[in-house]
Amino acid sequence: MITGQASDRTATGWLPAERLGQLTIEGPLRPWLIGKGLLTLRLKELCGERFSLRLVEQFTGLLSADLQRGLGARDQAGLFRDVEMRCDDRVWVYAQTVIPDASLTRHPWLAELGDAALGETLTGLSGFERSSYEYAWLPAADVLCARALAGADVKPGGLWARRSRLTLRGAPLLVQESFLPSMGRL
pLDDT one-digit tens code per residue, 5-36:
333 333 358 988 887 777 778 778 888 888 88
List the single range of 49-53, 89-93, 154-158 with lowest mean pLDDT: 154-158
Strand partners, 138: 159
Strand partners, 46: none
Extended beta strands in the chain, E state: 15-16, 51-62, 77-87, 90-100, 128-130, 134-139, 158-168, 171-179
Q: 78 pLDDT exceeds 50?
A: yes
31/39 Cα distance (integer angstroms): 11
- So what's the pLDDT on residue 186? 62
Structural domains present in the chain: 6-179 (3.40.1410.10)
**N-to-C CA span, the chain:** 32
pTM of the predicted protein model: 0.88
177/138 Cα distance (integer angstroms): 11
Task: Give the three-class secondary structure for 42.
Answer: helix
- Above pLDDT 70, what percent of the chain? 93
* Mean pLDDT score, 64-79: 95
